[in-house]
C-alpha cells in the first residue's frame, strides 16, 4: 500500500466512555469481520479483561475502508488500554501512529484519564479528532462537552464528530474524519529497514509474536533481522496483519503495522521500543526508544499450602513469559516460607496477576502488603556519602544506625470531581500527606492536582476516593521522582514474634496512628486461641501500639451438649476448612486475608 492510502490511529478515552464499542462498530461497518463472527468487545481478547471490562494488552486491527472520494484506504487501529496502571502501554502505542480519536462520553464530559491519555497523544504529535459519544442518551449534551474539551484541553471542537457507538450513528462520519483529517504516515521504502517493536506476547501456537510498525524500508519473509538494542538475530518466519484475526502477507512497507514471528524463545527477548533492522545493510541509528515499563509496586506472593510452591513457580514463570513488565524473584519469609517477591506496574496489574494465578492455576495465595521502591542512602566512612540501596521489601530494611536517610517516590495526581465532593477529596489527599499544586474548575467539576507519596496511593487510595465521592471522581497519576522524608520501618509482633510479612514502611509522624489501626484490625482478624495473644506494633525495638486478644474460654463444640454428633462433626469440619486458609506463626494461626485487610485504613 502506498503511504497516501494509509491512516494509523488510536482511540483515547476515559474508561467506559465507549472506546471498545466504537472500535467494534468501525470494524463491523467496514465488513472487516462478518456479522456472524462479531462478538462484543472484539479487541478485548483475554477472558479476564472481558469480565472486568478493562482492556489490558494493546491490540491492533487493520480495516479496509472505501471512502467517499472513491479510494480505498488501509486504516490501522491500535487499541490502547484505559486504566492508569497501563499508562506506559498507552505511550508506546501512541508512538506507532499519527493520529487519535479522542472519545468523550457526551453525557459525562472530560475525565482524569481523558486528560492523561490525550496529553500522551499531544506529546506524540498526534492530529486529534474529538468524537462525542453516546448521543442516543437523553442526558447527552454535545455543546457543553465540546466547550469543555476546548476549555480544558485546548483542542478545537467545532467539528467534533457526534456518534452513538451503541446504535451505530455517526460511524461513517468517523471513518471519513479519519481519512480526511488525520495525516498519512511518512517513510522511505528504499532506506534501510527501521521497524519499531511496539508490543510482543506469547501465543500458544506461534510462540512469541511481535507487533511492529515499519518506519522505513521493507520487511520481508525469510529476511534475517537484528534487534538493535539486544543485538540478537533471527530469521523471520511469518509476517502478517490483524483483520483482526492473523492473516499472513509477504511484506510490510513503510507506514504499515503488522506482526512477525521468528524463532524467539520468550517475550523477555523482545524489548518494547527496540528497533528492528536487517542483519545485512541494516540501519545505523536506532529509532528513539520508548520509556521502558518499570515495575513500581512490589509484594510477596506465597502459597497458602506450602506444598504448592513448585506449582506457584510454574504459574509465575508462565505468566511472566507473556508479560515483560511483570518481574519476580524468589523470596523466603520466616513467617510464610518460600514464595516470590513480584513487581507490578500498579495495583490493578497486581490484582490481575493474582487473580489469574488463583483462578487459572488453582493456587491459593497469601499476598503481602504492597510496597513501593524506597531509596536507602547508607552512611559512608568519614562523613562521605555512602551507597544507595533500592529497597523493594520492608523486611530487607538495613539497621537504622547504618542508614543516613531515605527517599520515597512521589506522584503528580490529577483528580476530577463534582463540586459537592471536593471537600472530602481534599481531606483525603491531606490525610495521605498530599501537597496541593493546583485547583481549577470546569463547569461544576473541580480539578485538583496533588503531589503525593506513591506509598500512600498504591494501597487503597483509589477505593477510598471512589467511596467518598460515590464513584464520581476520576483519577490519574504520573511518577515524578524521589524525595527525602522521615520514613521508618514498622514491624508487627504477634505473640511476641515479629511477622515479617506484615512489616511496612511508614512516615514517622503517622506511625502511631497506623500502628494502632493495624493492631486493632489484627485483633479482629485473628481468631481467639486457647491463650492470650499480645499484638504489637514496633519501630526498632520500641513498641508504639499494643492490643491484646483475649483467650478462648470454651471449646466450640461444647454448646452441642455432646449428643448431636452430626452437628458436632459439621462444626469440626468447618473449623478444619477455616484452618486451611490460615498460616501458623509460632503458636498462632493468622488467616490469609489478614495480610491485606490489616493495612486498610477506613
Shortest Å, Cβ 14 to ligand GTP: 7
Shortest Å, Cβ 106 to ligand GTP: 9
Shortest Å, Cβ 64 to ligand GTP: 23
CB under 6 A: which stretch of 12-20, 61-69, 233-241, 364-372 binds ligand GTP?
Answer: 12-20
How far, in Å, CA of 262 to CA of 241, rounded?
15
Shortest Å, Cβ 467 to ligand GTP: 20
Handedness of CA 550, 495, 542, 498 (dihedral sign): negative
By beta-carbon proximity to ligand GTP, the closer residue of 166 and 375 is 166
Identified binder of ligand GTP from the candidate list 7, 9, 12, 13, rule CB under 6 A: 13
Question: Does 16 carry a binding-site annotation?
Answer: yes
Shortest Å, Cβ 43 to ligand GTP: 8
By beta-carbon proximity to ligand GTP, the closer residue of 97 and 315 is 97
In 95-190, which residue ranges form alpha helices assigned H by DSSP? 112-123, 142-148, 171-181
Identified binder of ligand GTP from the candidate list 8, 21, 325, 474, rule CB under 6 A: 21
Shortest Å, Cβ 87 to ligand GTP: 13
Identified binder of ligand GTP from the candidate list 10, 12, 19, 239, rule CB under 6 A: 19
Shortest Å, Cβ 38 to ligand GTP: 14
By beta-carbon proximity to ligand GTP, the closer residue of 111 and 408 is 111
Query: Does 184 sit near ligand GTP (CB under 6 A)?
Result: no
By beta-carbon proximity to ligand GTP, the closer residue of 81 and 370 is 81
CB under 6 A: which stretch of 8-16, 173-181, 361-369, 545-553 binds ligand GTP?
Answer: 8-16
CB under 6 A: which stretch of 9-17, 220-228, 237-245, 253-261 binds ligand GTP?
Answer: 9-17
Q: What would the DSSP string read from start to end of 486-554?
A: -EEEEEEEETTEE-GGG-EEEEGGGHHHHHHHHHHHHHHHSPP-SS-EEEEEEETTEEEEEEEEPPP-S
Q: Which residues of 207-229 are buried (b: 16+ CB within 10 A; e: fewer)?
A: ebbbbbbbbbbbbbeebebbbbb
Question: Residues 262, 230: contact at Cβ < 8 Å?
Answer: no
How far, in Å, CA of 153 to CA of 155, rounded?
6
How far, in Å, CA of 257 to CA of 240, rounded?
9
Nearest Cα residue to 503 out of 602, 428, 392, 403: 392
Shortest Å, Cβ 59 to ligand GTP: 11
CB under 6 A: which stretch of 15-23, 145-153, 249-257, 288-296 binds ligand GTP?
Answer: 15-23
Question: Residues 231, 279: contact at Cβ < 8 Å?
Answer: no
Q: Quick check: helix, strand or coil at residue 155? A: coil
How far, in Å, CA of 106 to CA of 344, rounded?
34
By beta-carbon proximity to ligand GTP, the closer residue of 138 and 563 is 138
Question: Residues 96, 252: contact at Cβ < 8 Å?
Answer: no
By beta-carbon proximity to ligand GTP, the closer residue of 81 and 453 is 81
By beta-carbon proximity to ligand GTP, the closer residue of 132 and 544 is 132
Shortest Å, Cβ 129 to ligand GTP: 16
Question: Does 135 carry a binding-site annotation?
Answer: yes
Query: What is the pattern of x (binds ligand GTP, CB under 6 A) and - over residues 390-419?
Result: ------------------------------
Handedness of CA 16, 21, 26, 27 (dihedral sign): positive
Question: Residues 262, 227: contact at Cβ < 8 Å?
Answer: no
Radius of gyration of the chain (CA): 27
How many residues form the binding site for ligand GTP (CB under 6 A)? 19
By beta-carbon proximity to ligand GTP, the closer residue of 20 and 333 is 20
Query: Does 176 sit near ligand GTP (CB under 6 A)?
Result: no
How far, in Å, CA of 482 to CA of 4, rounded?
46
C-alpha cell at 413: 495526581
Phi, psi (deg, nearest 5) at residue 9: -150, 165
Contacts (CB under 6 A) with ligand GTP, residues 51-70: 53-55
In 346-413, which residue ranges form alpha helices assigned H by DSSP? 347-360
Q: How many CB atoms within 10 Å of residue 404?
A: 14
Question: Does 271 carry a binding-site annotation?
Answer: no
How far, in Å, CA of 459 to CA of 371, rounded?
8
Query: What is the pattern of x (binds ligand GTP, CB under 6 A) and - over residues 134-173?
Result: x-xx--------------------------xxx-------
Question: Residues 455, 471: contact at Cβ < 8 Å?
Answer: no
C-alpha cell at 589: 494461626
Shortest Å, Cβ 57 to ligand GTP: 12
Angle between helices 422-431 and 461-468 (to 10 degrees): 160
Q: What is the 3-state secondary structure (H, E, C) of 202-213?
A: EECCCEEEEEEE
Query: Does 17 sit near ligand GTP (CB under 6 A)?
Result: yes
By beta-carbon proximity to ligand GTP, the closer residue of 19 and 489 is 19
CB under 6 A: which stretch of 11-19, 532-540, 582-590, 592-600 binds ligand GTP?
Answer: 11-19
By beta-carbon proximity to ligand GTP, the closer residue of 115 and 501 is 115
Question: Residues 601, 518: contact at Cβ < 8 Å?
Answer: no
By beta-carbon proximity to ligand GTP, the closer residue of 17 and 410 is 17
By beta-carbon proximity to ligand GTP, the closer residue of 21 and 275 is 21
Shortest Å, Cβ 56 to ligand GTP: 9
Identified binder of ligand GTP from the candidate list 1, 5, 15, 354, rule CB under 6 A: 15
C-alpha cell at 451: 503531589
By beta-carbon proximity to ligand GTP, the closer residue of 134 and 583 is 134
Looking from the CA of 594 toward its CB, the CA atoms found within 13 Å total 29
How far, in Å, CA of 137 to CA of 220, rounded?
48
Shortest Å, Cβ 389 to ligand GTP: 38
How far, in Å, CA of 570 to CA of 219, rounded?
67
Identified binder of ligand GTP from the candidate list 1, 3, 5, 16, rule CB under 6 A: 16
Question: Does 136 carry a binding-site annotation?
Answer: yes
Contacts (CB under 6 A) with ligand GTP, residues 74-133: 82, 133
Contacts with ligand GTP by CB under 6 A lie at 13, 15-21, 53-55, 82, 133-134, 136-137, 164-166
Q: Residue ranges for the binding site for GTP?
A: 16-21, 133-136
Amino acid at each position: 500500500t502506498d503511504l497516501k492510502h494509509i491512516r494509523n490511529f488510536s482511540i483515547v478515552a476515559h474508561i467506559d466512555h465507549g472506546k471498545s464499542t466504537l472500535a467494534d462498530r468501525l470494524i463491523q461497518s467496514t465488513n472487516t469481520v462478518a456479522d456472524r463472527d462479531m462478538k462484543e468487545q472484539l479487541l478485548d481478547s483475554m477472558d479476564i479483561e472481558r469480565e472486568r471490562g478493562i482492556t489490558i494488552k494493546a491490540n491492533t486491527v487493520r480495516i479496509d475502508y472505501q471512502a467517499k472520494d472513491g479510494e480505498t484506504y488501509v486504516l490501522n487501529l491500535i487499541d490502547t488500554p484505559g486504566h492508569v496502571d497501563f499508562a506506559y502501554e498507552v505511550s508506546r502505542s501512541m508512538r506507532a501512529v499519527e493520529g487519535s480519536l479522542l472519545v468523550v462520553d457526551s453525557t459525562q464530559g472530560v475525565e482524569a484519564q481523558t486528560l492523561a491519555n490525550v496529553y500522551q497523544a499531544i506529546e506524540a504529535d498526534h492530529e486529534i479528532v474529538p468524537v462525542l459519544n453516546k448521543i442516543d442518551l437523553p442526558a447527552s449534551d454535545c455543546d457543553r462537552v465540546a466547550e469543555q474539551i476546548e476549555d480544558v484541553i485546548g483542542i478545537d471542537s467545532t467539528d467534533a464528530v457526534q456518534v452513538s457507538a451503541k446504535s451505530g450513528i455517526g460511524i461513517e462520519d468517523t471513518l471519513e474524519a479519519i481519512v480526511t483529517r488525520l495525516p498519512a504516515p511518512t517513510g522511505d521504502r528504499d532506506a534501510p529497514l527501521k521497524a519499531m517493536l511496539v508490543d510482543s506476547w506469547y501465543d500458544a501456537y506461534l510462540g512469541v509474536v511481535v507487533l511492529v510498525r515499519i518506519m522505513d524500508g521493507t520487511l520481508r519473509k525469510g529476511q534475517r533481522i537484528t534487534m538493535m538494542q539486544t543485538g540478537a538475530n533471527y530469521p523471520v518466519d511469518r509476517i502478517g496483519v490483524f483483520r483482526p484475526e492473523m492473516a499472513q502477507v509477504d511484506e510490510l512497507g513503510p507506514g504499515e503495522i503488522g506482526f512477525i514471528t521468528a524463532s524467539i524463545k520468550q517475550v523477555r527477548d523482545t524489548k518494547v521500543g527496540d528497533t528492528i533492522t536487517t542483519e545485512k545493510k541494516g540501519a545505523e541509528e536506532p529509532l528513539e526508544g520508548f520509556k521502558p515499563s518499570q515495575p513500581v509496586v512490589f509484594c510477596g506472593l506465597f502459597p497458602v499450602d506450602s506444598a504448592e510452591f513448585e506449582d506457584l513457580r510454574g504459574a509465575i514463570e508462565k505468566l511472566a513469559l507473556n508479560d515483560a513488565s511483570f518481574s519476580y524473584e524468589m523470596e523466603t519469609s520466616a513467617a510464610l516460607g518460600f514464595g516470590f517477591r513480584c513487581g507490578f506496574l500498579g495495583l490493578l496489574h497486581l490484582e490481575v496477576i493474582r487473580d489469574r494465578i488463583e483462578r487459572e492455576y488453582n493456587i491459593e495465595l497469601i499476598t503481602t502488603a504492597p510496597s513501593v521502591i524506597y531509596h536507602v542512602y547508607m552512611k559512608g566512612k568519614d562523613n562521605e556519602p555512602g551507597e544507595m540501596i533500592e529497597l523493594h521489601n520492608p523486611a530487607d530494611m538495613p539497621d537504622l544506625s547504618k542508614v543516613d536517610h531515605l527517599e520515597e517516590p512521589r506522584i503528580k495526581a490529577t483528580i476530577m470531581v463534582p463540586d459537592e465532593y471536593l471537600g472530602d477529596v481534599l481531606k483525603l489527599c491531606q490525610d495521605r500527606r498530599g501537597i496541593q499544586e493546583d485547583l481549577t474548575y470546569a463547569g461544576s467539576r473541580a480539578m485538583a492536582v496533588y503531589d503525593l507519596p506513591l506509598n500512600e496511593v498504591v494501597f487503597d487510595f483509589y477505593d477510598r476516593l471512589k467511596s467518598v465521592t460515590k464513584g464520581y471522581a476520576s483519577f490519574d497519576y504520573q511518577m515524578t521522582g524521589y524525595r527525602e522524608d522521615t520514613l521508618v520501618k514498622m514491624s508487627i509482633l504477634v505473640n511476641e514474634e515479629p511477622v515479617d510479612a506484615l512489616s511496612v514502611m511508614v512516615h514517622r509522624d503517622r506511625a502511631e496512628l497506623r500502628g494502632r489501626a493495624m493492631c486493632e484490625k489484627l485483633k479482629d482478624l485473628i481468631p481467639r486461641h486457647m491463650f492470650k495473644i499480645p499484638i504489637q506494633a514496633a519501630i526498632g525495638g520500641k513498641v508504639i501500639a499494643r492490643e491484646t486478644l483475649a483467650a478462648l474460654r470454651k471449646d466450640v463444640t461444647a454448646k452441642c451438649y455432646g449428643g448431636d454428633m452430626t452437628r458436632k462433626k459439621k462444626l469440626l469440619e468447618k473449623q478444619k476448612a477455616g484452618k486451611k486458609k490460615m498460616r501458623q506463626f509460632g503458636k498462632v494461626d493468622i488467616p490469609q486475608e489478614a495480610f491485606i485487610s490489616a493495612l486498610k485504613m477506613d
